[in-house]
Structure 1
Amino acid sequence: MPHARHIHNLGHMETQNAIDSFAALSQQTRLDAFRLLIRHEPTGLAAGEIARRLAVPHNTMSAHLAVLARAGLIASQRRSRSIIYRANLAEMGELIGFLVSDCCAGHPEVCDRLTLPMGACGPTKQRRGDNS
């Protein structure tokens, strides 16, 4: 993912940014880490805790987190001796917006089924790698 993050002034994601984001998410551990971070918004998780929950060696997890960060999907912040990672929900929104920006050729009523079900953000059954 050597490409720099460039977002249009109007808030629209460029094709290369979307490709970078999808490439970052196209690996199982990175996808699991991103989904884990989404479940732990807004507080985030320490890098070591992410590695522990996903049963991935710390150095391997660091490499995966770096890929997600370069794609703009996560952000990190030092808190004491830990680095806390959080999902970048704004970037995820841009990615989803990119996918549906041309939806239904100007007939948004056809795209109604793309809206999230009411319970999509509610409690779900425990997922693989989330031991919280």
Structure 2
Amino acid sequence: MTPKSVVAALGALAQETRLGVFRLLVQAGPTGLSASQIAEGVGIAPSLLSFHLKELLHADLVTQVREGRSLIYAANFSAMNGLLGYLTENCCGGNPCSPDSKLACSTEGGCA
């Protein structure tokens, strides 16, 4: 990812409703959800949801596919993984930082 696309993605997620929509779509998996299912899932009006979906689409965090008369939205897992990879690149001086590794980074800095 480029720094510009990372800023766009983080900016889109830096809003409570959009973060909730994105998390719901991640939970739904690659099949995605219709706009009405998303609105119901996060508890907002469909008219307000369209604004938030537009922002997530612009940041390339979600995809949109037409199925008949419905639009289906899904998390863009490739972009999500790219964002996570960008944020964790060179974490802990190049040492593995996953909880299941022998070397794990602490919040105090450094690896133990």
Q: Give the structure-2-normalised TM-score.
A: 0.84
Tell me which residue corresponds to 2:104.
none
Question: Which amino acid letter does the alignment assign opposite residue 11 of structure 2?
Answer: A
Tell me which residue corresponds to 2:65.
77
| TM superposition shift of 1:77 | 0.3
Unaligned stretches of 5+ in structure 2?
Answer: 102-112
Give, in whole Å, the separation in 2 of the partners of 1:114 and 1:80: 44
Q: Which has the higher contact order (CA 8 A, sep 6+)?
A: 1
Give, in whole Å, the separation in 1 of the partners of 2:49 and 2:42: 9
2:83 is aligned with 1:95: yes
Give, in whole Å, the separation in 2 of the partners of 1:105 and 1:36: 33
Give, in whole Å, the separation in 1 of the partners of 2:31 and 2:79: 17
Give, in whole Å, the separation in 1 of the partners of 2:68 and 2:18: 25
CA RMSD of aligned residues (A): 1.5
Deviations 1:68-107 (A, max 9, x none): 010000000000111000000000000000001121223x
Q: How many residues align?
A: 101
Instruction: Describe the shift of the 1:87–1:114 C-alpha distance in structure 2 as closer, same or farther (beyond 3 A).
Output: farther
| TM superposition shift of 1:23 | 0.5
Tell me which residue corresponds to 1:67.
55
Runs of 4+ aligned structure 1 residues displaced above 6 Å come to none
What is the correspondence of 1:1-132 to structure 2 with a 5 Å cutoff?
13-106=1-94, 108-109=95-96, 111-113=97-99
Give, in whole Å, the separation in 1 of the partners of 2:39 and 2:19: 13
Give, in whole Å, the separation in 1 of the partners of 2:100 and 2:16: 24
Identity within the alignment, %: 39
| TM superposition shift of 1:53 | 1.8
